[in-house]
């Protein structure tokens, strides 16, 4: 949680300095990491975009994370998607995409496949309360229930979808009340309490895997940060409200108090830990910044399993063009400078 917090602070500033193009912080929702702890590492995760904590929990390295945000030659996604659209095959975390809620029915389908494969794993699917207004949410929960899919739907209800407060998002009793209507076991949990999240996830996983039942979890929390670096949330909510949440109900502080109560943590350890993580993050940051961007060939790969004739022809055309006008393109930034096109 602390690593996530420090990462957010540094990368948010990096965007403000124009060093990366975009960023989304996880401030206030760090306790969601508890859900990753409640899963098996082989369980497949489908996320929305504010779940970097679950990836870190599974072992996504700072380098991997920075490489993605910098779109450099070591980015697993080959520099094709916006920052924070992480993915890891090794860690069973499906690559994030921007369209909201599309991952929810996909999670149901993946869960059905895992059930058929008989390997006793479930699928975890994260989304916000705003995304739950999309048609895909409805489709997904209904299919998961009728097809008995071992999937956990984890809704992060943080009160806002960009500027839209939850009060303008729905009129019912949050997201949890909908689960019952689909015949899905549902629970609402304090989203700032890492242990509560851990416990419900663990119990949900048991229901999903042992009884092939979908489960809906609604974690109530508060989005302390702006929606993204393209958003100034003071335009639609009072700064005091944000400050109050940060001060009075902060998941980091709550866990820290619990640890201190157990005598497992203290001010000194906290400071030491924070400065060592900060150093690690900054090291990874400058390493990622120095790397080349991927080879320009990667612009053309992976559209299909094999490049099609039209794509090959277009690659050839681009090659000729940059040979003709090399000064019009930032070739030196890219691996092989376009020579391998």
Partner 1 sequence: MPICKFVDLSLVLKMQTSRFTLLYRNFANNIYSKPLSRNRFTHKAFFHATKKILQTSGAPAPAEGYLPGVAQSKFIKSTQEEALKNSELMNTGVANGETKKMNMFQAINDAMGIALTTDETAVVFGEDVAFGGVFRCTLGLAEMFGKDRVFNTPLTEQGIVGFGIGMAAVGHTAIAEIQFADYIFPAFDQLVNEAAKYRYRSGGLFNVGGLTVRSPCSAVGHGGHYHSQSPEAYFTHTPGLIVVMPRGPIQAKGLLLASIRDRNPVIFLEPKILYRAAVEEVPVGDYELPLGKAEILKSGKDVTVVGYGSQLYTLENAIKLAEKDIPGLSCELIDLRSLLPWDVDTVANSVNKTGRLVISHEAPQTSGFAAEVATSIMERCFLRLEAPIQRVCGLDTPFPLIFEKFYVPDMSKCYDTIKEVVNY
Within 39-78, the residues that bind partner 1 by CB under 8 A are: 44, 46, 75-78
Site track 6-45 with partner 1 (rule: CB under 8 A), x = hit: --------------------------------------x-
Residue 223 among the catalytic residues = yes
| 138 part of the interface to partner 1, by CB under 8 A | yes
| 118 part of the interface to partner 1, by CB under 8 A | no
Within 73-92, the residues that bind partner 1 by CB under 8 A are: 75-78, 80-81, 85, 87-89
Residues in binding contact with partner 1, number by CB under 8 A: 50
Catalytic residue among 85, 156, 223, 256: 223
If the CB atoms of residues 122 and 219 are measured against partner 1, the closer one turns out to be 122
Nearest approach in angstroms of CB 309 to partner 1 is 6
Binding residue for partner 1, selected from 6, 24, 140, 217, defined by CB under 8 A: 140
Contact between 72 and 105 under an 8 Å Cβ cutoff? The reply is no
Nearest approach in angstroms of CB 213 to partner 1 is 16
| 296 part of the interface to partner 1, by CB under 8 A | no
Within 96-115, the residues that bind partner 1 by CB under 8 A are: 97, 99, 102, 104-114
Q: Which stretch binds partner 1 (CB under 8 A): 3-11, 19-27, 140-148, 269-277?
A: 140-148
Parallel, antiparallel or unpaired: strands 160-161 and 164-165 = antiparallel
CB atoms within 10 A of CB 162: 14
Which residue, chain included where needed, has tokens 């489908």? 46
Which residue, chain included where needed, has tokens 């407060």? 165
Binding residue for partner 1, selected from 117, 167, 235, 248, defined by CB under 8 A: 117
Question: Rounded CA gap, 283 and 273, in Å?
Answer: 15
User: Which candidate, 102, 169, 173, 99, places its Cα nearest to that of 133?
Assistant: 169
| 142 part of the interface to partner 1, by CB under 8 A | yes
Using CA atoms, how far residue 275 sits from 257, 269, 302, in Å, is 20, 10, 40
| 275 part of the interface to partner 1, by CB under 8 A | no
If the CB atoms of residues 65 and 281 are measured against partner 1, the closer one turns out to be 65
| Secondary structure, 3-state, the chain | CHHHHHHHHHHHHHHHCCCCCCCCCCCCCHHHHHHHHCCCCCCEEECCCCCHHHHHHHCCCHHHHHHHHHCCCCCCCCCCCCCCCCCECCCCECCCCCCCCCHHHHHHHHHHHHHHHCCCCCEEEEEECCHHHCHHHHHHHHHHHHCCCCEEEEEEECCEECCEEHHHCCCCCCCHHHHHHCCCEEEEEECCCHHHHHHHHHHHHHHHHHHCCCEEEEEECCCCCCCCCCCCHHHCCCHHHHHHHHHHCCHHHHHHHHHHHCCCCCHHHHHHHHHHHHHHHHHHHHHHHHCCECCHHHHCCCCCCCCCHHHHHHHHHHHHHHHHCHHHCCHHHEHHHHCCC
| 133 part of the interface to partner 1, by CB under 8 A | no
If the CB atoms of residues 117 and 235 are measured against partner 1, the closer one turns out to be 117
| 214 part of the interface to partner 1, by CB under 8 A | no
If the CB atoms of residues 11 and 44 are measured against partner 1, the closer one turns out to be 44
Residue 226 among the catalytic residues = no
Catalytic residue among 50, 188, 227, 256: 227
If the CB atoms of residues 11 and 101 are measured against partner 1, the closer one turns out to be 101
Within 155-194, the residues that bind partner 1 by CB under 8 A are: none
| 317 part of the interface to partner 1, by CB under 8 A | no
Residue 329 among the catalytic residues = no
Which residues contact partner 1 (rule: CB under 8 A)?
44, 46, 75-78, 80-81, 85, 87-89, 94-95, 97, 99, 102, 104-114, 116-117, 123, 135-136, 138-140, 142-143, 146-147, 298, 301-305, 308-311
**Residues with active-site annotation:** 223, 227, 236
């Amino acid at each position: 949680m602390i690593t996530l917090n420090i990462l957010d602070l540094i990368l948010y500033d990096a965007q403000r300095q124009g060093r990366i193009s975009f960023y989304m912080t996880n401030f206030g929702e760090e306790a969601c990491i508890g859900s990753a702890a409640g899963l098996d590492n082989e369980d497949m995760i489908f996320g929305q975009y504010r779940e970097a904590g679950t990836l870190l929990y599974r072992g996504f390295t700072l380098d991997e994370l920075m490489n993605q945000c910098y779109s450099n030659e070591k980015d697993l996604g080959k520099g094709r998607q916006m920052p924070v659209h992480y993915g890891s095959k090794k860690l069973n975390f499906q690559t994030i995409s921007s369209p909201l809620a599309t991952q929810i029915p996909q999670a149901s389908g993946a869960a059905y496949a895992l059930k058929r494969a008989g390997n006793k794993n479930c699928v975890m699917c994260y989304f916000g309360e705003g995304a739950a207004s999309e048609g895909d949410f409805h489709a997904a929960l209904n299919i998961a229930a009728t097809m008995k899919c071992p999937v956990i739907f984890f809704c992060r209800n943080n009160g806002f979808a960009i500027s839209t407060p939850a009060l303008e998002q729905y009129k019912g009793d949050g997201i949890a009340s909908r689960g019952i209507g689909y015949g899905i076991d549902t629970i609402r949990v304090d989203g700032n309490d890492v242990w509560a999240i851990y416990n419900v996830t663990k119990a949900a996983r048991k229901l999903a895997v042992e009884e092939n039942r979908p489960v809906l979890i609604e974690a109530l929390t508060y989005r302390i940060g702006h929606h993204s670096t393209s958003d100034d949330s003071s335009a639609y909510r009072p700064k005091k409200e944000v400050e109050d949440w940060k001060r009075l109900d902060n998941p980091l502080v709550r866990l820290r108090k619990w640890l201190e109560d157990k005598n497992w943590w203290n001010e000194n350890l906290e400071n030491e830990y924070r400065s060592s993580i900060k150093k690690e993050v900054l090291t990874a940051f400058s390493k990622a910044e120095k790397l080349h961007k991927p080879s320009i060939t990667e612009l053309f790969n992976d559209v299909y399993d094999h490049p099609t004739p039209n794509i090959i022809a277009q690659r050839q055309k681009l090659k000729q063009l940059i040979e003709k006008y090399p000064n019009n393109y930032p070739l030196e930034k890219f691996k092989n400078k376009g020579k391998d096109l």
